[in-house]
């Protein structure tokens, strides 16, 4: 899940000022965590405590206001309503990475990704985006190769993963939907050489940069067996003590490698 947080941090300054190149400082001077990180940590905390997703999402969002929440989600936060609102937005996929790390069989990953999504994003595309992301992380953790991951996601979720980054980059635009974000984020991972390269690939596409890189980062973390130590330590330094505690507790409970040299 820390890989997702790294993607959010790196992409935070490019969401509305796209940078269609892989050349940039990894942690820009003004980068900070956004709703992607807040809600990823909320999902992790919910899993640790076997809680209710809607309650955890709402509580975290209220505790961390002004972090770039989408319009309908922001309305939901302010309301007392706990019902989902049929969203197909990419929020369900951006926050789901803890699910992919927490379970050791595919059926459980699929079921829990659905539960985590439908707390708010109960539209079929919202559920699909969360499941595809979680399955990619699960398969990467279990040692599947990129060709195997690509084939499985194409078959199970009907995502078109045939385009290359070079083909996508010239025309790819800001898209807050799962269907317009998750396939592109997966492609950014598939074309990567290591964790950092995956993040740079995602940013180079433009679009909803922090969420693209957040999704890519979770998959890349699983596939490459953790994060480079310097990147992991830098990412943790942006988190307040509460969020850092949840990240570290989640890693300990689910035996995630925090970093590698």
- Could you read off the pLDDT of 107-149 as tens digits, one per residue? 999 999 999 999 999 999 999 999 999 999 999 999 999 999 9
Which residue's structure tokens are 């890693």? 251
The model's pLDDT over 211-246, given as tens digits with 9 standing for 90+, comes to 999 999 999 999 999 999 999 999 999 999 999 999
Domains of the chain (ranges; CATH) run 2-256 (1.10.4080.10)
Q: What is the residue-averaged pLDDT of the chain?
A: 96
> Over pLDDT 90: what percentage of the chain?
96
Backbone angle region of 177, left / alpha / beta, with phi > 0 → left and psi within -120 to 50 → alpha = beta
Q: Average pLDDT of 152-174?
A: 97
Query: How many Å apart are CA 124 and CA 117, to the nearest integer?
Result: 10
Mark residue 60 as left, alpha or beta (left: phi above 0; alpha: psi -120 to 50; beta: remaining). Answer: alpha
Residue 6 — very low, low, confident or very high, per pLDDT cuts 50/70/90? very high
Instruction: Please give the pLDDT value at position 254.
Output: 85
Sign of torsion, CA 175 186 93 97? negative
Question: Could you give the count of Cα atoms lying within 13 Å of 130 in the half-sphere of its Cβ?
Answer: 29
pTM, two decimals, is 0.97
57-87 per-position pLDDT tens digit: 999 999 999 999 999 999 999 999 999 999 9
Spatial CA neighbour of 10 closest among 176, 237, 211, 188: 211
146-157 and 124-141 helices, crossing angle to 10°: 160
């Amino acid at each position: 899940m820390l890989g997702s947080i790294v993607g959010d941090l790196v992409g935070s300054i490019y969401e509305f000022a796209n940078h269609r190149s892989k050349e940039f400082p990894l942690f820009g001077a003004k980068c900070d965590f956004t709703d992607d990180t807040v809600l990823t940590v909320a999902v992790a905390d919910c899993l640790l405590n076997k809680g209710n997703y809607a309650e955890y999402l709402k509580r975290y969002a209220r505790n961390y206001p002004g972090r770039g929440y989408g319009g309908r989600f922001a309305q939901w936060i302010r309301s007392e309503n706990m019902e989902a609102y049929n969203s197909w937005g990419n929020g369900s996929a951006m926050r789901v990475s803890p699910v992919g790390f927490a379970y050791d069989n595919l059926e459980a990953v699929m079921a829990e990704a659905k539960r985590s999504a439908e707390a708010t994003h109960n539209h079929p595309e919202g559920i699909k985006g969360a499941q595809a992301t979680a399955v990619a992380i699960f398969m990467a953790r279990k040692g599947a190769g990129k060709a195997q991951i690509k084939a499985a996601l194409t078959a199970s979720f009907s995502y078109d993963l045939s385009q290359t980054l070079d083909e996508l980059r010239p025309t790819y635009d800001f898209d807050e939907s799962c269907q317009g974000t998750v396939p592109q984020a997966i492609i950014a991972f598939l074309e990567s050489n290591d964790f950092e390269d995956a993040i740079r690939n995602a940013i180079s596409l433009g679009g909803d940069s922090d969420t693209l890189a957040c999704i890519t980062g979770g998959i890349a973390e699983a596939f490459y067996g953790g994060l480079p130590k310097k990147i992991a330590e830098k990412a943790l330094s942006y988190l307040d003590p509460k969020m850092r505690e949840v990240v570290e507790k989640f890693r300990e409970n689910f035996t995630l490698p925090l970093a590698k040299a």
